[in-house]
Structure 1
Amino acid sequence: MTTMLMRWVVTLALCFAFMVPAVQAQESMPPIYYHVDGTGNQTVNNLVNKPRNEWRVLSGSNASFGYTDDVYWFQFELPEVNFDRVIHLPYPLLDRIDTYFVQSGEVIEQVRSGDQFEFSERPVNNRNFMIPVATQEAVTVFMRVETTSSMRVPISVWQPSELAGNEQAINMVTGMYFGLLLCMMAYNFFTYLTTRDYRFAIYSGYIIAIGLLMASLDGTGYQYLWSWFPWLQEKAINLFGALVFVLASLVASKILQTEIRSPLLHRGLQAIMVIAGLLFVASIFLPYATMISIVLIVAILASSFLIFTGIMLWRQGLNYARVYTIALSALLLAIIVNAIGYLGFLESFFVQRYLIMIGSAIEVMLLSLVLAIRYSEDRRERLAAEQRANARLEVKVKQRTGELEKVMRKLKEMNQKLEVKSNEDRLTKLYNRGMLDEDLPLEVRRARRTGYDIAVVMIDIDHFKEINDRYGHPVGDEILVELSRVLRVNFRRAGDRIYRYGGEEFVVLMPGAQELGCHDKVLTVTDAIRTHEFKTERGEVKLTVSVGMALLNTLPGHTSSKQLLEAADNALYQAKNAGRDQIRIARTLNEASEKP
């Protein structure tokens, strides 16, 4: 286990090393100018005509000003090109970013982003901030940045394809890192279940806290875990940072037996636990800006004391204190470097962002080794008087191996579930449009091969915009969810698949369907929808739907899956143009007819 994890950490470190050239493979940046808005009241119109000599020139493209209440404006020129571009800010902790694209003194487009908004509002679905450039022509970019976090604004411009390649490499390494944490957490937790040694349970909690802290710093947590919860995103670093030091102190006291070996150091660790616990509670109620400087200072002091504790017990001859000190130093020194960076004294974004990942990966692996050493020593002491120690040890090793295999199978199942989630519509839990794009060509080829027909049924809610305007979008979402349930109840024939095509449109694939039976089924469904009472927080709502149908064998020629879908869409528009609450069946690729 230890050898495998060591190889994993070495691989992770090598991946980080090879990522450095990739991170630098961006578009060459023009000079970046910045302006400090102490009041926060200035607008882009106030600054468009501000003389360039009244702006300050940024040294490089990585702005780092530490913690400040000021608003910062940035300005740079982008030349005319013949390809798309995207502005990349690989620092995911900025509260608000307002980007203005200006030509001839006029704002042609404004883009809003930042982690004070829900993740779904970002222009690009990424844990970092990505802002598409509004035009390929020459344009002046103004960026207004406001944050209670450290004012760090690393600006770069990329071609989307090159940025996607760079992000893929980073995502791969990030996935390896969190996979390592997950494996180690599961391994130690199942070891606890096997041995009932609570130190393994505490260590599993410690690994979880590190993972949550790293997910907060990296932006992965806001992207995947709490994207709907800006409040937690604002406070996550303080909360999880404090929790890390509560558990780190507890782990140190249990592994190093400070209560017995050094009561003075033990009281120091208890003090860290109390202070970190108070910081955790205070972070819930006090603003991020008030707490972050305190948390960073405590992090530096607590990290130093934890390392000092390990060194002192190492000098006393405690054999595993040496490994503990090396393990803890890898993480805590990385935390100290990061804390110094967030306070504005270090500008190496890459080193700060990924040094703590490498440090925590090494620390988790080595601390697990220390814990294993401690457990092994205790076990030998407990089993010294027992003659069958070797036999029992073999049984436990086999049990742990089986448990680890179960964990790996569960991880595989989790990956399969995540794959299913990627094919689901987030709101309705139906299949999404991407899944339809994959399924429809397969079904069309199967229908040609078997000779069976296939029907594509397109359903659109009548006057749905008026419902949203009258009752509000939350009620509209409730109706979409309930309509999805009604469709599931009614389309239950084997092989039928329901997709949310977009907005208020749904698509049903009916392999093997015949025209008459398909029409009768759709007629029954529309009647059921017409009579159904959609209960919402604003009361009951009644609605109707328009339906367009297309059957593969009904259409002439060698109809493709795309043409089949377009025919159903054309039939849907015929139904809507005929007054809605109608069913139309496509007879040609461009026309639809009413089924009596």
Structure 2
Amino acid sequence: MAKSIVYWLALALLVTFSSVASARAETAEDMPPVYYHVDKNGRQSIEQVIDKELNFWDVLNQRAASFGYTSDTYWFHFNLPAADYDRVMRIAYPLLDNVDIYFVQNNQVIQRTIVGDEQEFSQRPISSRNFVVPIATRDSVAVYMKVATSSSMRVPISIWQPTKLLSDEQLVTTATALYFGLIICMIVYNLFSFSLTRDPYFAYYSAYILAIGLLLAGLDGSGYQYLWSNFEWLQSKAIPIFGSIAFIFASLVASHILQTKERSPKLHRGLQGVMVLAGLSFLASILLPYEWMIQWILILAIGAAALLICTGISLWQQGLGYARIYTLALSVLLSTIVINALGYLGLFESFFIQSYLIMLGSAFEIMLLSLILAMRFNENRKERLAAEKRLSSRLEVKVKQRTEELEAVMRKLKEMNKKLEVKSNEDRLTKLFNRGVLDEDLPLEVRRARRTGYDIAIVMIDIDHFKKVNDKYGHPVGDEVLVELARLLKVHFRRAGDRIYRYGGEEFVILMPGAQELGCHDKVLAVMDVIRSHSFKTERGAVKITISAGMSLLNSLPGHVASKHLLEAADKALYEAKNAGRDQIRIARPATDVSDNS
């Protein structure tokens, strides 16, 4: 089911990107001639470039500016004719550091807008992963742009009607969402597989896919828009950081899939070297400026991908079946990386292909690696079946015995869990509920009684002269008496809802929801008669005891009583029974009102 979802997402992704590619060229307005000027020291101001002669400017011959990595500042200039509708300008390259845009009429700046990924995302005039700026006027206007960046100097400018731009952005956003949906599905699927199998390959693969997803989120601006919009520092270093992490896990995945440690120790050491270099690049990316790291990351990406391909080819030649598919997957990804590298270096000008080809390439690679995973699983299954055939019946018996032992252990664990749960709620000696359970049950019953209007009876029982029993016969005999008394109470208080608790020492509490005073009083008297006539058999012979009881009823107490007051009233009635000579019951009769302060 999970794989079917992934395959359908991949197909939808391919179809959507095809639709985007076919639709984009027809929606943007025709651009007027664009001119550029190189500002070597970056100190020129707008006043120094306004109204310059044409020989000051160079004509941009290609459809979009692409000058590779350079420390120079570039000025761009073009004139927009008047229009009877609103317009916006989009710069479809989200990695530019600073773009200072001036709208000029009659040699006067009528509006200035500053954008760039060194600015807070919330400061952008229009929330978009690209730089989208409203045109200041419908009249004819001259546009000047000062661009400085540590990334590649690539400035794809286009003019749009807002509705058409929204349509274009929605289509691209859909394609991007499908891509990241595919990424998320693969991560979840492999993490689930890891949780079931504990095979580290699934964890490595999930981390690799996550790094690829974050890398591409940084490349197309989605990461800055949705994930780390408040962290300009991360945006400025996302490409080298996530690129380094991707190659760390790509090497781990390759070494695990291709079994390089067993099949080719030299190639295994090469992959370990890539991991070391990628790890050092990760640390350097945190500490060093972006412009120092990005070209090194591109070189590392091409070199590492080439080594991974060589590894796949070598093991393919050794007869490893799925190595050829792995080689194909890495070849596709390497091709997209090379195309991107050429574009960043200013040698390739198709911004759309460069922006989204790596998404398609990485999606294709993820799908092929998923196929390898299925092949490897199938191969492992065949190996297990062959191994089972070679195993003797003695091994089968051992497996069965181990299985039975495991089941026995699991049953024992379940039983122990049940016992622990019971023990936490019961008195260890009498097996009745303990005082902690009473403290939880009584407030609940009081609140329920207030809602329904029925009564609650609390009966507190204490053994008369129990200290004499302990002193005469010893505490073990006293414990036997307590256990037997608990049994008698459970036998005779069996009405639905009745609960018996050991309150402490020789005291017991009986909670009787829905009880009436007369019926409850008669029931307690009957139980007292049973206990009085009962011979408690112990190791020291038969023992006779009597009990005293105090009873309180919720509706008999004045005011809005709390559960603790109900318990206190029963306790007070118990002591009245003891003071009156023991072996009798007293019912709490309020002298004053007791209010619930809780």
Structure 1 residue aligned with 2:330: 328
For residues 247 and 172 of structure 1, the distance between their equivalents in structure 2, rounded to whole angstroms, comes to 28
Map Cα deviations across residues 257-288 of structure 1 (whole Å, 9 max, x no partner): 01111111111111111111100000000000
Aligned residues: 389
Secondary structure class of the residue paired with 1:65: strand
Structure 1 residue aligned with 2:113: 111
Map Cα deviations across residues 34-56 of structure 1 (whole Å, 9 max, x no partner): 00000100011000021122200
Contact conserved, 2:93 with 2:155, CA < 8 A, in 1?
A: yes
Secondary structure class of the residue paired with 1:173: helix
How much does 1:379 deviate? 3.4
Mean alpha-carbon deviation: is it higher for 327-336 or for 374-383?
374-383
Structure 2 residue aligned with 1:16: 17
Contact conserved, 1:103 with 1:140, CA < 8 A, in 2?
A: yes
1:194 partner letter: L
2:55 partner letter: N
Secondary structure class of the residue paired with 2:69: coil
Q: How does 1:120-269 map to 2 (within 5 A)?
A: 120-269=122-271
Structure 2 residue aligned with 1:515: none
For residues 380 and 207 of structure 1, the distance between their equivalents in structure 2, rounded to whole angstroms, comes to 28
Contact conserved, 1:2 with 1:365, CA < 8 A, in 2?
A: no
Q: How does 1:230-379 map to 2 (within 5 A)?
A: 230-379=232-381
For residues 112 and 371 of structure 1, the distance between their equivalents in structure 2, rounded to whole angstroms, comes to 48
TM-score (norm 1): 0.64
1:15 partner letter: T
Map Cα deviations across residues 413-455 of structure 1 (whole Å, 9 max, x no partner): xxxxxxxxxxxxxxxxxxxxxxxxxxxxxxxxxxxxxxxxxxx
1:38 partner letter: K
How much does 1:3 deviate? 5.0
For residues 245 and 122 of structure 2, the distance between their equivalents in structure 1, rounded to whole angstroms, comes to 28
How much does 1:111 deviate? 0.5
Map Cα deviations across residues 541-572 of structure 1 (whole Å, 9 max, x no partner): xxxxxxxxxxxxxxxxxxxxxxxxxxxxxxxx
Map Cα deviations across residues 507-559 of structure 1 (whole Å, 9 max, x no partner): xxxxxxxxxxxxxxxxxxxxxxxxxxxxxxxxxxxxxxxxxxxxxxxxxxxxx
Secondary structure class of the residue paired with 1:308: helix
Contact conserved, 2:82 with 2:138, CA < 8 A, in 1?
A: yes
For residues 67 and 183 of structure 1, the distance between their equivalents in structure 2, rounded to whole angstroms, comes to 36
Contact conserved, 2:183 with 2:209, CA < 8 A, in 1?
A: yes
Contact conserved, 1:89 with 1:155, CA < 8 A, in 2?
A: yes
Map Cα deviations across residues 75-104 of structure 1 (whole Å, 9 max, x no partner): 000000010000011110000111000000
Contiguous gaps of at least 5 residues in structure 1: 393-596
Structure 2 residue aligned with 1:478: none
Map Cα deviations across residues 559-595 of structure 1 (whole Å, 9 max, x no partner): xxxxxxxxxxxxxxxxxxxxxxxxxxxxxxxxxxxxx
2:17 partner letter: F
Secondary structure class of the residue paired with 1:115: coil
For residues 175 and 4 of structure 1, the distance between their equivalents in structure 2, rounded to whole angstroms, comes to 15
1:52 partner letter: L
For residues 312 and 9 of structure 1, the distance between their equivalents in structure 2, rounded to whole angstroms, comes to 29
Secondary structure class of the residue paired with 1:170: helix
For residues 139 and 289 of structure 1, the distance between their equivalents in structure 2, rounded to whole angstroms, comes to 34
Secondary structure class of the residue paired with 2:137: coil
For residues 21 and 73 of structure 1, the distance between their equivalents in structure 2, rounded to whole angstroms, comes to 31
Secondary structure class of the residue paired with 1:21: helix
For residues 279 and 96 of structure 1, the distance between their equivalents in structure 2, rounded to whole angstroms, comes to 25
Secondary structure class of the residue paired with 1:280: helix
Moved over 6 A (4+): none
Structure 2 residue aligned with 1:550: none
How much does 1:383 deviate? 4.7
Contiguous gaps of at least 5 residues in structure 2: 390-395, 401-598
How much does 1:309 deviate? 1.1
Contact conserved, 1:334 with 1:356, CA < 8 A, in 2?
A: yes
Secondary structure class of the residue paired with 2:31: coil
1:21 partner letter: S
Structure 2 residue aligned with 1:102: 104
TM-score (norm 2): 0.64
Secondary structure class of the residue paired with 1:87: strand
For residues 211 and 64 of structure 1, the distance between their equivalents in structure 2, rounded to whole angstroms, comes to 25
Contact conserved, 2:78 with 2:144, CA < 8 A, in 1?
A: yes
Map Cα deviations across residues 143-187 of structure 1 (whole Å, 9 max, x no partner): 011100000000000000000000000000000000000000000
1:80 matched to 2:72 = no
Secondary structure class of the residue paired with 1:267: helix
Contact conserved, 1:303 with 1:336, CA < 8 A, in 2?
A: no
Contact conserved, 2:12 with 2:178, CA < 8 A, in 1?
A: no
Structure 1 residue aligned with 2:70: 68
For residues 328 and 131 of structure 2, the distance between their equivalents in structure 1, rounded to whole angstroms, comes to 35
Contact conserved, 1:2 with 1:369, CA < 8 A, in 2?
A: no
1:141 partner letter: V
Contact conserved, 1:303 with 1:333, CA < 8 A, in 2?
A: no
Mean alpha-carbon deviation: is it higher for 335-344 or for 109-118?
335-344
Contact conserved, 2:64 with 2:157, CA < 8 A, in 1?
A: yes
Over the matched positions of the two proteins, sequence identity in percent amounts to: 56
How much does 1:380 deviate? 3.2
Structure 1 residue aligned with 2:31: 29
How much does 1:345 deviate? 1.4
Secondary structure class of the residue paired with 1:327: helix
For residues 205 and 335 of structure 2, the distance between their equivalents in structure 1, rounded to whole angstroms, comes to 20
For residues 176 and 82 of structure 2, the distance between their equivalents in structure 1, rounded to whole angstroms, comes to 35
For residues 308 and 23 of structure 1, the distance between their equivalents in structure 2, rounded to whole angstroms, comes to 38
Which one has a bigger Cα radius of gyration?
2
For residues 198 and 149 of structure 2, the distance between their equivalents in structure 1, rounded to whole angstroms, comes to 45
2:197 partner letter: T
1:8 partner letter: L
1:173 partner letter: A
1:18 partner letter: S
Structure 2 residue aligned with 1:510: none
Give the aligned CA root-mean-square deviation in angstroms: 1.5
For residues 175 and 229 of structure 1, the distance between their equivalents in structure 2, rounded to whole angstroms, comes to 22
Contact conserved, 1:35 with 1:72, CA < 8 A, in 2?
A: yes
